[in-house]
């Protein structure tokens, strides 16, 4: 089955992949991943941030090789490797995975608002209004969603600049003794970065919508370098600012650090950070919803605008079921573990299977030609 032809009017420029990859990674995870990795590898965990960042370059190389081979998207890869019916089952799994990724981002952000700003805010009303906004944005097409990443790219980074205010209170003796943990500890902490680093694999779905997609490869790698540097910067400042016992008491260490910033007209700077994060999360939710509905469309032939509404309704219902911190922690852990498996097991395995299938098909073609000529 040939991949569908995408009109040029629906495609976006290769350099915008930088903003989609970086934007997907600078999301909810950066608000509190430091506590998780410090629990696993102490204050040597900055090494794990680098290891996790380097590993993403290998995974995205696998992704591009798969996409360049089939010249399509995830659905075409599954069809090429597993066939139509089994491939459809794998597609449905990824529809569910992308949908739960939306749940994780949206419900975690709602929890942040409820804990820090409005304790009595209704989860149902906020989720409903937010999802309606996302549906409206997605109906504008993939170019609109990518535009949200582009125009919203400055929002998280100026806040991270203000994070430097903590430098005046930093105590870098917290890092001593250096390299006091085993390599296994570093690997476990790198795995703890999974939720923070997730999102770049959505290129599996929107790859056919990139103009001259091979030129986007360098922008994807640059985005991964950029987010690794940002994560490393936030990690080092956080570790220098908090002692380990203090850090383990802060679920959202990044937001807590913002509390030290004071301006004559702004007493609670973390409120600005939380409000701005509403626009940071918006393109993440939109692209994940778009990807889930795109795969659903390719699998069951339902129009994408209906698929978006259906998946949004599912997301809304799941968000309502996550009422406590324990529930939200559980969904975060589930998505982190599934994402780790997909990135570090499934993607390389799928790459190997695709190579084997292509070689078998070439051998069969040669045999048919030789038998026809004889």
Question: What residues does each domain of the chain span?
Answer: 10-366
Locate 222 and state its tokens: 């640059």
Task: Please name the residues in contact with 171: beta carbons below 8 A apart, sequence gap of 6 or more.
Answer: 240, 241
The number of angstroms, rounded, from the C-alpha of 372 to the middle of its chain's C-alpha atoms is 50
Length of the chain: 374
**Residue 273, phi then psi, degrees to nearest 5:** -60, -45
Phi, psi of 210 (to 5 degrees): -95, 130
Number of other residues whose CB lies within 10 A of the CB of residue 304: 17
Query: What does DSSP assign to residue 169?
Result: G
Residue 156 has a pLDDT of 67
Give the Cα separation of 258 and 303 in Å (integer): 44
Residue 374: its pLDDT value, please?
A: 59
Distance CA 64, CA 32 (A): 30
Which letter does DSSP use for residue 263 in this model? Answer: B
Residue 373: its pLDDT value, please?
Answer: 64
Q: Is 3 left (phi over 0), alpha (psi -120 to 50) or beta?
A: beta
The domain 10-366 having CATH identifier 1.20.1740.10: the answer here is: yes
Instruction: Give the pLDDT of residue 95.
Output: 95
Alpha carbons within 13 angstroms on the beta-carbon side of residue 264 total 0
Using an 8 Å Cβ cutoff, are 112 and 42 in contact?
Answer: no
pLDDT of residue 372: 66
Instruction: Give the global pTM.
Output: 0.92
* pLDDT at residue 98 in the model: 95
Distance of CA 186 to the CA centre of its chain: 21
DSSP string for residues in 253-266: HHHHHHTT--BTTB
**How do the pLDDT tens digits run along the chain, 374 residues long?**
567 778 888 899 999 999 999 989 888 788 888 898 999 988 999 999 999 999 999 999 999 999 999 988 999 999 999 988 999 999 999 999 999 999 999 999 999 999 988 899 999 999 999 999 999 999 999 999 999 988 877 766 666 677 777 788 888 888 888 888 888 999 999 998 988 889 899 999 999 999 989 999 999 999 999 999 999 998 999 899 888 888 888 888 888 888 887 777 777 777 888 888 888 899 999 999 999 999 999 999 889 999 999 999 999 999 999 988 899 999 999 999 999 999 999 999 999 999 999 888 888 887 777 776 65
Between the two ends of the chain, the Cα-to-Cα distance in Å is 30
């Amino acid at each position: 089955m040939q991949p569908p032809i995408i009109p040029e009017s629906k495609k976006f420029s290769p350099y915008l992949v930088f903003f989609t990859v970086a934007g997907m990674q600078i999301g909810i995870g950066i608000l509190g991943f430091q506590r998780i990795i410090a629990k696993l590898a102490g204050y040597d965990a900055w090494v794990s941030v680098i290891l996790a960042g380097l590993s993403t370059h290998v995974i995205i190389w696998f992704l591009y090789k798969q996409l360049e081979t089939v010249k399509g998207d995830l659905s075409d890869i599954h069809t090429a490797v597993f066939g139509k019916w089994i491939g459809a089952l794998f597609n449905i799994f990824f529809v569910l995975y992308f949908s739960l990724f939306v749940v994780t981002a949206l419900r975690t952000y709602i929890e942040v608002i409820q804990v820090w700003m409005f304790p009595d805010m209704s989860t149902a009303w906020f989720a409903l209004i937010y999802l309606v906004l996302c549906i409206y944005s997605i109906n504008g097409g993939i170019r609109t969603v990518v535009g949200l990443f582009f125009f919203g790219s400055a929002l998280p980074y100026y806040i991270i600049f203000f994070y430097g205010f903590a430098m005046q209170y930093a105590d870098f003796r917290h890092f001593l003794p250096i390299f006091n943990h085993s390599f296994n500890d570093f690997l476990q902490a790198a795995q703890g970065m999974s939720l923070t680093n997730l999102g770049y694999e959505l290129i599996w779905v929107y790859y056919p919508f990139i103009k001259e997609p091979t030129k986007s490869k360098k922008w994807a790698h640059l985005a991964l370098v950029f987010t690794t540097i940002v994560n490393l910067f936030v990690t080092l400042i956080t570790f220098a600012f908090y002692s380990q016992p203090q850090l383990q008491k802060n679920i959202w260490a990044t937001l807590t650090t913002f509390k030290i910033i004071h301006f004559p007209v702004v007493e609670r700077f973390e409120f600005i950070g939380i409000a701005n994060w509403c626009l940071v999360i918006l393109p993440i939710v939109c692209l994940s919803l778009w990807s889930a509905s795109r795969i659903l469309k390719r699998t069951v032939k339902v129009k994408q605008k209906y698929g978006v509404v259906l998946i949004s309704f599912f997301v809304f219902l799941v968000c309502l079921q996550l009422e406590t911190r324990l529930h939200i922690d559980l969904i975060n852990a589930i998505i982190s573990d599934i994402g780790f498996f997909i990135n570090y097991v499934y993607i390389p395995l799928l790459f190997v299977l695709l190579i084997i299938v292509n070689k078998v098909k070439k051998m069969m073609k040669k045999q048919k030609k030789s038998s026809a000529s004889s």
